[in-house]
Structure 1
Amino acid sequence: MKIALLSVTKNGRIIVKNIHTILEEDPSVIKVDMFHKNIKETLYNIFNSYDCIIGVMATGIMIRNICALIKNKNEDPAVLVIDEMGKHVISLISGHLGGANDFSIKIADIIDAEPIITTSTDINNKLGIDSLSRRYYLKINDISKIKYINSGLINDERVEIAFNPKLNYIWEDLDVKKSYYKSSTTSDTITISKNSITMNLKPKKLVVGIGSRKDVACSVVIDAINNAMNVLDLPLERIDSIATGQMKQNENGIIDATKELNIPLEIISEKSIKNFKNPDLNDSNFVKNKFGVGGVCEPSSLIAAGNDSILIFRKTPYNGVTVAIAVSKS
């Protein structure tokens, strides 16, 4: 997630700096930038460049300045507002698809504040279909149907979900909410229906990129992958493939880890990595001097995930193993 932090007052700037310091250490945060004052101009320039915008200011200031910028829930970034005393974190727009609700809880925990969430499914302790899609990186085929499915959940109507048994980790999450009735399908597409209304959710391709020192142990690779997935609160079963560079294709630790986890291994050629460009890559001079490329795990994950894929977990070292995670656009 790429995050912009905005402030207008001296105290607000202090809160922003505290949040920035903590988020910089979070590997699921790909970029975090701070902006002070000039709110109208700043929002106009950055609104479509960040996944989440957090403003420490009056709610009215934020609302008046984003009215002309918002489009729809499928495109708009998450927008949060924090009062100047840091007592409340308000999820303003894109609570589900944009992740504002979950991030409000996260930020509130960081600054010891109270998260304010007003979406119906959440306050009725239901997991909305849009929250489900964001949580597990699922592509919704028709977002216009979300309101019909979610209203059914809120009103305790019968909402059915059909999925392949290999995706049973989703049901373990849903079952807590007692919101859906399940059935099985052999398809990888998840089907959700209420009466005659049906919508499909397709898992996006999620790839774990791996780099490592020479002769790394299998157990260390598995621990590194586990740690990264735990940060994202995702099960190992959600991984579609593990990718590494050609220069690491004979590392037994990586090969054995993919076999033990029963996850396909994709080898990305050195040429592909050298030619790959992405503004979110964190290049290493050490790796560049040794292999002629700026990194292994990040470009490998992004290339394997496909065109327009994005990082959801930036390069992070674990005992000689580097991990990055990318997800496809669709």
Structure 2
Amino acid sequence: MKVAIISVSEKGYDLSLSLKEKLDLDSTIIKTDLYHKNVKKYFPILFYEYDAIIAIMASGILVRSIAPLIESKVTDPAVLNIDDNGNFVISLLSGHLGGANRLTQKVASLIGATPVITTSTDVNKKLGIDVLAKDLYLSIDNTKEILFFNKCILEGKKISLTVNPNRDFSYLFRYLNDNTLETDISVSYSTKVNNNEIVACVDGHELILSERKIVAGMGCRRGKECINIYNALESSVKELNIDISRINELTSAEIKKDEKGMLELSEKLNIPINFVDLEKLELFESNDIQKSEFVKSKFGIYGVCEPSALIMAGFDSKLIYKKTSYSGVTIAIAVSK
């Protein structure tokens, strides 16, 4: 998640500096940029350049600033509102698909504030269908149906999920076991459903939830054992709150194609691994990747795990877990659009 923090007062700016320091330590926060004052100039830019905006200012200023920019719950960024004293963190816009509710909980915990969340499913301890999709990195084919599904969930109606029996959906069952709260959900099997889809039904209405491709990019010192790489990957997906079985593909640079630990990990997890040509890595450009001069001097490329993950996840993919080191192993995770 790329986050912009914007403030208008000096006290608010001081709070933004402190919050940025904390967010920068979080591997799921790809970058955090600060903006101060001049809200009329900045908001039209921030709204389209960032996944989340944290506005430290009066709610009136914030609402008037973003009102002309709001388009859809599918495309609008997460917007959080914090008072100058850091007493409250309010999830204002895109609570579910944009991730504002989860970010609100995280930010409130970091600064010792009270989180304020008002979405109906959350306050009634129900699992919204859009929350399930967001948490598991699934796209929704007909977002207009979200409101109907969540209304049915609030009314206590059973949601039926159907999956293909030939695909390992361990990640779905573990998620439901941990997160169904008071929502009534059943799961059945059908070979008519595509391997990468989950079909949700209620009262004759249907939603198709399709897996977005998640790719784990890896780097390691020569000779790292499978267990070391596995532990690093497991730690990474735990921070993302997804099961390791949700990973669709493993990847690294072609210089690692004979790395025994990586090959064994692919076999152990039954997840395919592909290696990216050095030429592609050398030509790849992204403002979101961390560049290493050491790697550049040794292999002629600025990085391995981040660019590999982004390349294999496809055009317009984005990082959801920045390069993080674990005792000689580096992990980065990207997801397709």
Which TM-score applies when normalising by structure 2? 0.95
Residue type of the partner of 2:133?
A: S
Task: Summarize deviations over 1:159-196 as a string: whole Å, max 9, x none.
Answer: 21112452133233334323322212343210111122
C-alpha distance in 1, partners of 2:292/2:184?
A: 47
Q: Which runs of 5+ in 1 are unaligned?
A: none
**Residue number in structure 2 paired with 1:258:** 266
Residue type of the partner of 1:223?
A: N
Task: Summarize deviations over 1:272-301 as a string: whole Å, max 9, x none.
Answer: 111222221211111111111111111111
Find out whether 1:194 has 2:217 as its counterpart: no
C-alpha distance in 1, partners of 2:103/2:45?
A: 22
**Residue number in structure 2 paired with 1:5:** 5
Cα RMSD (Å): 1.2
Equivalent position SS for 2:55: strand
Range that drifts further, 24-33 or 257-266: 257-266
Task: Summarize deviations over 1:291-316 as a string: whole Å, max 9, x none.
Answer: 11111111111111111111111111
C-alpha distance in 1, partners of 2:333/2:8?
A: 35
Find out whether 1:170 has 2:172 as its counterpart: yes
Task: Summarize deviations over 1:120-160 as a string: whole Å, max 9, x none.
Answer: 11111111111111101001001000001000000012321
Q: Which runs of 5+ in 2 are unaligned?
A: none
Residue type of the partner of 1:269?
A: D
C-alpha distance in 1, partners of 2:223/2:274?
A: 19
**Residue number in structure 2 paired with 1:328:** 336
Map 1:106-255; keep pairs closer than 5 Å: 106-164=106-164, 166-175=168-177, 176-177=180-181, 178-186=183-191, 187-188=194-195, 189-255=197-263
**Residue number in structure 2 paired with 1:312:** 320
Equivalent position SS for 1:67: helix
C-alpha distance in 1, partners of 2:22/2:296?
A: 29
C-alpha distance in 2, partners of 1:312/1:172?
A: 21
> Following TM superposition, by how much is the alpha carbon of 1:219 offset from its aligned partner in structure 2, in angstroms?
1.4
C-alpha distance in 2, partners of 1:302/1:82?
A: 33
Q: Is the 8 A contact 2:232 2:326 kept in 1?
A: yes
Find out whether 1:20 has 2:20 as its counterpart: yes
C-alpha distance in 1, partners of 2:175/2:244?
A: 14
Equivalent position SS for 2:286: coil
Q: Is the 8 A contact 2:214 2:248 kept in 1?
A: yes
Map 1:272-287; keep pairs closer than 5 Å: 272-287=280-295
Q: Is the 8 A contact 1:126 1:179 kept in 2?
A: no
C-alpha distance in 1, partners of 2:71/2:184?
A: 30
**Residue number in structure 2 paired with 1:55:** 55
Map 1:56-135; keep pairs closer than 5 Å: 56-135=56-135
Which TM-score applies when normalising by structure 1? 0.97
> Following TM superposition, by how much is the alpha carbon of 1:45 offset from its aligned partner in structure 2, in angstroms?
2.3
Equivalent position SS for 2:48: coil
> Following TM superposition, by how much is the alpha carbon of 1:227 offset from its aligned partner in structure 2, in angstroms?
1.2
C-alpha distance in 1, partners of 2:36/2:139?
A: 35
- Runs of 4+ in structure 1 over 3 Å off: none
C-alpha distance in 2, partners of 1:257/1:63?
A: 49
Equivalent position SS for 1:192: strand
C-alpha distance in 1, partners of 2:156/2:170?
A: 22
Aligned length: 329
